Chains A and B, each alone.
Chain A
């Protein structure tokens, strides 16, 4: 591989296929922007106490990222503010540049679900949704919002879902992946019930400060480990959904797992099935093999894309998962984002490109 032979798997240039990007990150210039939508009581609280997460620092991560604002170094808007905070620059650098038909917003920098103070969690979720609407989706029809919810309080979460359900700008519900408890637990079921009722997928973007280490062995030392282990945390989360019987109970529920790649998916199904052979009497509420739920109720965004040395291995992997299960995402403007032109290092047919770069997402989100 060299610069002159960089292979292109670009969807857009050859086919005029417009891309649906299932992971775009808008940012606030600072948390103070929230005040525009917070009641005075919570404005004061925000100023005095800020967000209270389950991590050692008020405003940075215990695993310092590899780049400022975890972003591409070329994504800082010339007019100031952090990457993702300037709609015009986002249009120029990303939406227009790649001819994005729809961009699914995923606000990360401020979020309600892992805020520890319950009333504030509600107020923040609410404000984040107003902000997505007023500053993003109302200004650019390509952008679609996600309903942020204070998910540790299912009743409050359902209230917030009901506020936005049916609004054409909001196409999914977002929960953090590293929640307080395994996400298959019944305490979260009212959220799933509402999601299934309104036909809104749950978008599970890797995120959250649960107070537990990212994977089973304990707390890693390095960002290098934490970043790679994200896929492990998502596998365990997915196992919880399935083995607790969420898709059995809500067969129409759509679960979209965002920013975990997809290499881990098939083997999770194989391992669940192999253990289910011996241990099915423990989970009699499952009427099908665990892997069947994985194939029926889950979708996966592609970034960070898998990069086996042999491109045929990538194709085989997707065969195992299903070409209808993957939704393209860039993760703009983050450092580990994928470029739609070059992310997939394997050959794809026109139909396969259409599915992954747009069609699957349009079907899942009913765009």
Chain B
């Protein structure tokens, strides 16, 4: 098979962690005993049930074991077919959603060790995001500091929805540490389910939770912009994974409009929120959520108004597309090199340090 997109940087790969038991070698004595004696194992997140069709593409489900469960699989299914030179592993694991922040911290730490040992050590193309116990910003910062020296960790992973909106000042130590170490912050479609995902409470279906996450991302962005996170941490980049881009134009138009009317309430937002967004926010291309007519993608991108925003991703092993059609149909030719590689290099300063 020839590579589809040689040299690409795949910004969204999901290694499957079987459960806490797989982390026992990476836990200290106390936590090992706690996990075993309390029988804690799988911390799969409710948005990603293992057998739901979205969670793994049919042809990416191995005969045995977990989809996304090994380095061999990521090589054979994601890195090689697309010709990716770098792939970023974003672990979907529920440890940060635990209410017990010490337990969350121990499990996040072990998860990051597990990723380093069992994935990063085995393929030089792989990089990873740092899972942090975000409900305790203090412990989250400790984990960032502990991991920062390993340059293969290139971003900080946050739940898409947690105890508070992410712009709230209580969360700022995380951004300070991330900015200091040149680590973008990435939001995944994951929720600690502390608050209902809609103004009408809890929807019925999984498809609703995923559809509505476009709104959750927007509420987080709005919070981070209006609380002044990007004014305070001008070096910070925010990466949205699985957010789609369909909503971006209306979010930007509305952002400018509301700011002109109400900016006195948040005077630290001292420039157009659309400009802040374009400077700081990056979005992975799976799913793209574009108009059905490929010819309209160019129109949508013109409204988005940034050639720097899109990051190539397969979202492996989730089911987003068939075969190797990871690039959205209708993507203008001039954007190809940017989306495949250049935008990621500009977003993740650490990727440039060891360019293959």
Contacts and interface: CB of A to CB of B under 8 A. Distances in A.
Interface of A: 66, 177-185, 208, 210, 212-225, 227-229, 231-233, 235-237, 239-240, 243-244, 261, 263-264, 266-268, 270-276, 278-279, 281-283, 291, 304, 306-310, 313, 316-317, 320, 335-336
B335 interface: no
**Which residue of B54, B162, B262, B302 has the most chain A CB atoms within 10 A of its CB atom?**
B262
B235 interface: no
B69 to A, nearest CB: 20
Contacts of A177: 199-200
Interface of B: 52-54, 160-168, 191, 194-208, 210-216, 218-220, 222-223, 226-227, 244, 246-247, 249-250, 253-259, 261-263, 265-266, 287-292, 296, 299, 302-303, 319-320
A210 B198 CA distance: 10
**Which residue of B226, B302, B319 has the most chain A CB atoms within 10 A of its CB atom?**
B226
B253 A306 contact: yes
Given A266-B291, A307-B257, A178 B214 contact: no
B212 A267 contact: no
A239 B206 contact: no
19 contacts: A177-B200, A213-B199, A216-B197, A217-B223, A229-B218, A232-B215, A235-B214, A235-B215, A236-B199, A236-B215, A243-B204, A268-B247, A271-B289, A274-B320, A275-B54, A275-B207, A279-B53, A313-B249, A316-B303
Nearest to A305: B257
A343 to B, nearest CB: 12
B215 A210 contact: no
In the A-B complex, the 3 residue pairs with the smallest Cβ-Cβ separation, listed nearest first, are A263-B250, A267-B246, A216-B216
Given A177-B199, A266-B291, A215 B52 contact: no
B337 to A, nearest CB: 25
**Which residue of A183, A261, A309 has the most chain B CB atoms within 10 A of its CB atom?**
A309
Contacts of A278: 53-54, 319-320
A210 B253 CA distance: 27
B198 A216 contact: yes
A283 B200 contact: no
A178 B166 CA distance: 23
A210 B214 contact: no
Contacts of A309: 256
B208 A225 contact: no
A224 B266 contact: yes
Given A216-B215, A221-B168, A184 B247 contact: no
Contacts of B246: 266-268, 270-271
B211 to A, nearest CB: 5
Nearest to B288: A274
A279 B199 contact: no
B198 A218 contact: no
B250 to A, nearest CB: 3
